[in-house]
Chains A and B, each alone.
Chain A
Amino acid sequence: MKKLLFVSLALLLFVQSPSVADDKKDEKKAVSDLARDRKAVSDLIRDAMTKVMKIIDDKKIEPDAKTAEVHKAASALLDLPRMAMLTLGRRRWPNLDKEQRKEFTDLFVKQVKASYVDRLNQFGGAKIEFGEPVLKKNKFLHMLVTVINEEQRVILLYKLYRSKKSESYQSGGVWRIYDLEVEGVSIVKSYGAQYREFLQKATFAELLEKMKEKIQDVENGSKDKEKSADRRRSSGDKD
């Protein structure tokens, strides 16, 4: 009887010990995975920002080509379709059909590109400080980036998630930006608040119309600016 007890105990230990070891291994693996993910995210943001700054500061590139290049570099990281989905939220997005989703996403992407990506131009000549990515809610990595020019420090917070969870884990993970905060102001939250408020009183079709109008305004606005700059230049000549 004693022998049996001993054997079963030994067996239990034997069975258990590898599993304990496994736990530790898992823990270690998780830690090294996190370290690798942090490195991946840090590299992604650093590379993209450095590249964007280089494009902005490059005086040889034409303004239009510059915009296109900046868009390209930024799109590699920004998951704008995901942001579009998040702005409408769980309550509204699932009720849309394919066409509506596509149209909304297209308009949202245009709007954000016009207002955020193009505004990166303001950062010309600025110095950039990169923070370390911080794990949030066990699934997101948030990274602080400070843009410093002669008169102010602007704090950007890039929030990344791993798109396609399990399978991409082995390859270092595909991290993409699902939201960006500028001085604490989140793109998803502020656009989302506007859309939701609008939809309380209007239909989705009306929202799409309004968004189109807005984009038109932005495009006209930049043209107006060019025109008035021209005017100013010509009137300056007369003076």
Chain B
Amino acid sequence: MGRGPFIVILMVSLGVCLCVHLPAVYAQDTALQGDDVADEFDDFEDEFEDMMDEDTEKKVFDPLIGYNRFMYRVNDKIYLVVIAPPAHIYAKVVPKPVRASVGRMFHNLGFPMRFVNMLFQFKFKRARIEMGRFLVNSTFGIGGLFDPADRYLEWHRGDEDFGQTLGVYGAGDGFPIVLPLLGPSNLRDTLGIVPDTLMDPLAYVSPTEASVGLYAGKIINHTSLHLSDYENLKKDALDPYTFFRDIYKQNRDKKIKE
């Protein structure tokens, strides 16, 4: 391994006191070498199973890949040209605590959708908390601008939608679909948008222009709180489309498991 001495030093220092700052040698980022490389993977095999085994290294089922790649590029441009610049300006003009409050208010309005989906998933305890949060934050939190439920009652935010409900019921994700403006999704979550929108108060604001305006405001406000997140992630990708497709799937799988 060539790291034997380091490990020994480490063990001793760790044994002396765990709280002591780790010695600098620990921070060496040198490549793992060795002849028994195959063994090195044994421990991790089942965890990254699909990455290890030759046979299971199959390609992702992505029948719409041509359209998806096109729509990814369109969304990328829309984000960079239409959404990000106003968000940057808005972020400069409006202080962060105010924007965070606006974000919380929009989140509060998403209560019906989250609550119903929690019930659909038989998460009754979560649903009770969600109901409590809505009542407390709408009143004492002044229409959701503040989050006293989280702060004083330890009732934390939940996050459920119909796509997750379908997932909990055992529906697979189908295949990836990139939605105009909304970004990466899949067949299951795209279908989930319909009932979720029916439960979204913003969709019932009339006239339609006002409703659209509110959605735009929601997006700009959210973007202003996450400036450069997208650009930073994109920088890591060798192929941005597949990178975001993969990230989206991992994130959704985790949410469904919760």
A-contacting residues, B85-120, CB 8 Å: 96-97, 99-100, 103-104
Q: Point out the residues of chain A lying under 8 angstroms from B254, CB to CB.
A: 181, 183-185
Contact (A214, B11) CB under 8 Å given A90-B41, A151-B100, A196-B51: no
Q: Are B27 and A75 in contact (CB under 8 A)?
A: yes
* A128 in the interface (beta carbon within 8 A): no
Q: Are A89 and B239 in contact (CB under 8 A)?
A: no
B-contacting residues, A150-200, CB 8 Å: 150-153, 161, 163-164, 167-168, 171-174, 178-179, 181, 183-186, 188-198
The residue that A161 contacts in the complex, of B24, B26, B37, B43, with Cβ under 8 A, is B43
The residue that A105 contacts in the complex, of B7, B32, B45, B97, with Cβ under 8 A, is B32
The residue that A76 contacts in the complex, of B7, B15, B27, B253, with Cβ under 8 A, is B27
CA distance A190 to B48 in the complex (A): 11
Q: For this complex, into which size category does the number of interface residues on chain A fall? A: 35 or more
Question: What is the distance, in angstroms, from A6's C-beta to the closest C-beta of chain B?
Answer: 49
Q: Point out the residues of chain B lying under 8 angstroms from A101, CB to CB.
A: 31-33
* A137 in the interface (beta carbon within 8 A): yes
CA distance A218 to B239 in the complex (A): 15
Instruction: Give the most central of B11, B38, B46, B96: most A CB within 10 Å.
Output: B11
Q: Point out the residues of chain A lying under 8 angstroms from B97, CB to CB.
A: 150
Segment among B63-71, B211-219, B243-251 that sits at the interface with chain A: B243-251
Contact (A195, B238) CB under 8 Å given A89-B52, A101-B31, A115-B232: yes
The residue that B11 contacts in the complex, of A171, A189, A195, A198, with Cβ under 8 A, is A171
Instruction: Give the most central of A101, A109, A115, A151: most B CB within 10 Å.
Output: A151
Q: Are B48 and A86 in contact (CB under 8 A)?
A: yes
Contact (A172, B14) CB under 8 Å given A84-B31, A151-B225, A183-B254: yes
Q: Point out the residues of chain B lying under 8 angstroms from A43, CB to CB.
A: 18-19
* SS class, residues of chain A in contact with chain B: helix
- Residue interface mask A193-209, B partner, CB < 8 A = 1: 11111100000000000
Find the A residue at minimum CB distance from B157.
A153
The residue that B19 contacts in the complex, of A47, A84, A179, A211, with Cβ under 8 A, is A47
Segment among A22-30, A58-66, A91-99 that sits at the interface with chain B: A91-99
A-contacting residues, B225-250, CB 8 Å: 225, 231-232, 235-239, 242-243, 246-247, 250
CA distance A221 to B12 in the complex (A): 42
Find the B residue at minimum CB distance from A236.
B92
* B209 in the interface (beta carbon within 8 A): no
The residue that B238 contacts in the complex, of A80, A81, A161, A194, with Cβ under 8 A, is A194
A-B contact pairs, 6 of them (CB 8 A): A72-B24, A81-B32, A89-B41, A168-B11, A179-B47, A193-B246
11 further A-B pairs in the complex, CB-CB below 8 A; given A184-B255, A185-B250, A197-B239: A90-B41, A94-B38, A102-B31, A105-B29, A106-B29, A111-B236, A115-B235, A150-B100, A153-B156, A168-B11, A190-B246
